[in-house]
Amino acid sequence: MSPQRSSRPIARRFSRYLDKLELTLGHADRSAPFRAYVTGLLLPGDRKSVEPMAARVAPDRVRAMHQSMHHFVASSPWSANALIGKVRELVLPSIEEHGAITSWIIDDTGMPKKGKHSVGVARQYCGQVGKQDNCQVAVSLSIANDFASLPIAYRLYLPRTWSDDRVRRRAAGVPTNVQFATKPEIALEQLQAACVAGVPRGVVIADAAYGNNTVFREQIAAMELSYMMAVQSSTTVWRIGEEPLAPKQKAQRSIGRRRSILQRRRGCVPVAVLDLAQELAPKSFREITWREGTNGALRSRFAAVRVHAANRDELHHEIRPQEWLLIEWPTDEAEPRKYWLSNLPETTSLADLVMQAQRRWRIERDYQELKDEIGLDHFEGRSWRGFHHHAALCIAAYGSLVAERGVFSPDDIRAALPQPALPNDFQPRGSAGAR
Q: What is the pLDDT of residues 188-213, one digit of tens each?
A: 999 999 999 999 999 999 999 999 99
Band of residue 3 on the pLDDT scale cut at 50, 70, 90:
very low
- Mean pLDDT, residues 112-133 taken together: 89
| H/E segment holding residue 339 | strand 338-342
| H/E segment holding residue 229 | strand 227-231
Residues with Cβ within 8 Å of 176's Cβ and at least 6 positions away in sequence, in order, are none
Distance CA 135, CA 127 (A): 10
Residue 375 has pLDDT above 90, yes or no: yes
Percent pLDDT > 70 in the chain is: 83
Distance CA 30, CA 317 (A): 56
The amino acid sitting at 102 is T
What pLDDT, on a 0 to 100 scale, did the predictor assign at position 413?
Answer: 55
What pLDDT, on a 0 to 100 scale, did the predictor assign at position 169?
Answer: 96
Residue 232 has pLDDT above 70, yes or no: yes
- Mean pLDDT, residues 338-367 taken together: 94
Minimum mean pLDDT range among 78-92, 250-264, 279-293: 250-264
DSSP letters for 130-177: TEEEEEEEEEEEEEE-SS-EEEEEEEE---HHHHT-HHHHHHHT--TT
3-class SS of residue 140: strand
- Mean pLDDT, residues 396-425 taken together: 65
The rounded mean pLDDT for the chain is: 86
Task: Map out the domains of the chain as residue ranges.
Answer: 3-207+364-426, 209-359
Q: Among 92, 343, 310, which Cα is nearest to 199's?
A: 92
Cα distance from N-terminal residue to C-terminal residue, the chain: 43
What pLDDT, on a 0 to 100 scale, did the predictor assign at position 243?
Answer: 58
Residue 247 has pLDDT above 80, yes or no: no
What pLDDT, on a 0 to 100 scale, did the predictor assign at position 418?
Answer: 55
Band of residue 142 on the pLDDT scale cut at 50, 70, 90:
very high
- Mean pLDDT, residues 273-297 taken together: 90
CA diameter of the chain = 82
- Mean pLDDT, residues 61-87 taken together: 96
Total residue length of the chain? 435
- Mean pLDDT, residues 172-176 taken together: 96
Percent pLDDT > 90 in the chain is: 69
Residue 362 has pLDDT above 90, yes or no: no
